[in-house]
């Protein structure tokens, strides 16, 4: 039976026989081949569909580690700042093992699905009049002073767990891809994937290393601009972050891999979001950023020397997290009388 990423990749993780493994069987997510994108880009494009984790995002890979280590240490309470998915994941894993969980979210800018998750798992949810960066600063100040475990990606165990995404990609493809495209918010995940790829390579589990391609939203692109953004804006709320905690390691991932970190507009994100859904894959807007990004790079001729190579895009979270944005961008259902003729006409028969 599959038992989650800690049991699967124990040899690569800082756990011992004494670590109490708190798991919801996260990981083992599908790597889906996209015919549509492969044809357009000219490389084989695979989608790592992280929306199929237990709470619907990749955050579960890091949270199983962070919560297991908090439990091992004897903590009673965990805390995080969140644009939504970290709080959903922290709340669920804390509930699984009886830890108290408090989350600070930016008031009014959290997707409905994510909020419902933190609430139903009984976290103490506190909306701050401020943005994510403000919330994270508060959580840092509180957890430095009080006996509460911080479970944001500043917690190194989060990165450790999240690197399992890279292991799974290599296991599925029998090597690393040529490129790995990923959204960048607080920049923990690009850091984690690069760490994972390097460790697998060192261990002889893969022969090559990918170029890391990170994508920020144009209104929240501090790394691309080279300075913090005071009032980050984007409809992709999961990457609406103006001062990423893992800024430096993200630059290292970019430079060591000879990759890049670029930005995509909300328009490009929405278009990629709908295109993914047209191909049967429902991912949240932030997850569409890497797809928008590789389409942008293709248009610039970036991939012309890599025909037939492989690109993996991490689709970080499930589309159901943010149902409002889906409905808003495709219109409402048609309402008809219960009449077969009218229905057939509407269907186009």
For 214, the enclosing helix (H) or strand (E) is: strand 211-217
DSSP three-state, residue 221: coil
Task: Look up tokens 């932030």; give the residue.
Answer: 286
Give 185 or 196: the residue with its C-beta nearer to ligand PLP.
185
Q: Which residues bind ligand PLP (CB under 6 A)?
A: 57, 59, 85, 153, 183-189, 238-239, 284, 286-287, 316-317
Q: How far is the CB of 206 from ligand PLP (least distance, A)?
A: 22
Q: How far is the CB of 131 from ligand PLP (least distance, A)?
A: 14
Give 70 or 182: the residue with its C-beta nearer to ligand PLP.
182
What angle do the packed helices 323-330 and 112-120 form, to 10 degrees? Answer: 160
Q: Are 250 and 190 in contact (CB under 8 A)?
A: yes
Closest listed residue to residue 121, CA positions, set 165, 74, 60: 60
Task: Look up tokens 């009080």; give the residue.
Answer: 146
Structure tokens of 75? 């903590």
Q: How far is the CB of 334 from ligand PLP (least distance, A)?
A: 31
Give the burial string for 130-167 (b: 16+ CB within 10 Å, else e): ebbbbbbeebbeebeeeebbbbbbbbebbbbbbbbbbb
Q: How far is the CB of 284 from ligand PLP (least distance, A)?
A: 5
43: which DSSP letter?
S
Give 44 or 48: the residue with its C-beta nearer to ligand PLP.
48
CA distance 84 to 82: 5
Give 44 or 186: the residue with its C-beta nearer to ligand PLP.
186
Give 200 or 273: the residue with its C-beta nearer to ligand PLP.
273
Give 29 or 85: the residue with its C-beta nearer to ligand PLP.
85
Residue 54's contacts (CB-CB under 8 Å, 6 or more residues apart) are: 24, 25, 26, 60, 92
Q: How far is the CB of 335 from ligand PLP (least distance, A)?
A: 33
* Chain residue whose CB lies nearest ligand PLP: 317
Give 175 or 239: the residue with its C-beta nearer to ligand PLP.
239
Q: How far is the CB of 8 from ligand PLP (least distance, A)?
A: 21
Q: How far is the CB of 329 from ligand PLP (least distance, A)?
A: 17
């Amino acid at each position: 039976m599959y038992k989650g990423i800690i049991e699967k990749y124990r040899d690569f993780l800082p756990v011992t026989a004494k670590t109490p493994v708190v798991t919801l069987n996260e990981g083992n997510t599908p790597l889906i081949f996209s015919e549509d994108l492969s044809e357009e880009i000219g490389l084989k494009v695979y989608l790592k569909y992280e929306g199929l984790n237990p709470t619907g995002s990749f955050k579960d890979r890091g949270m199983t580690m962070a919560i297991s280590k908090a439990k091992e240490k004897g903590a009673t309470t965990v805390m995080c700042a969140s644009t939504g998915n970290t709080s959903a994941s922290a709340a669920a894993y804390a509930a699984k093992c009886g830890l108290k969980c408090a989350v600070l979210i930016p008031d009014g800018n959290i997707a409905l699905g994510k909020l419902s998750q933190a609430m139903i798992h009984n976290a103490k949810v506190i909306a701050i009049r401020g943005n994510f960066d403000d919330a994270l600063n508060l959580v840092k100040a509180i957890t430095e002073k009080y006996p509460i475990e911080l479970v944001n990606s500043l917690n190194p165990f989060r990165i450790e767990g999240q690197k399992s995404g890279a292991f799974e990609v290599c296991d599925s493809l029998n090597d690393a891809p040529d490129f790995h495209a990923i959204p960048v918010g607080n920049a923990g995940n690009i850091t984690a994937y690069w760490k994972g790829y390097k460790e697998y390579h060192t261990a002889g589990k893969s022969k090559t290393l990918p170029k890391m391609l990170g994508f920020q939203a144009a209104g929240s692109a501090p790394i691309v601009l080279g300075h913090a953004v005071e009032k980050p804006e984007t409809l992709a709320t999961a990457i609406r972050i103006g001062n990423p905690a893992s800024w430096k390691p993200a630059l290292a991932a970019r430079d060591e891999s000879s990759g890049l970190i670029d930005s995509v507009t909300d328009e490009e994100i929405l278009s990629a979001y709908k295109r993914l859904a047209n191909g049967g894959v429902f991912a949240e807007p932030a997850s569409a950023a890497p797809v928008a990004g590789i389409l942008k790079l293709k248009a610039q001729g970036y991939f012309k020397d890599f025909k037939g190579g492989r690109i993996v895009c991490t689709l970080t979270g499930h589309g159901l997290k943010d149902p409002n944005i889906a409905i808003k961008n495709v219109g409402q259902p048609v309402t008809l009388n219960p009449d077969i003729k009218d229905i057939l006409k509407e269907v186009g028969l």
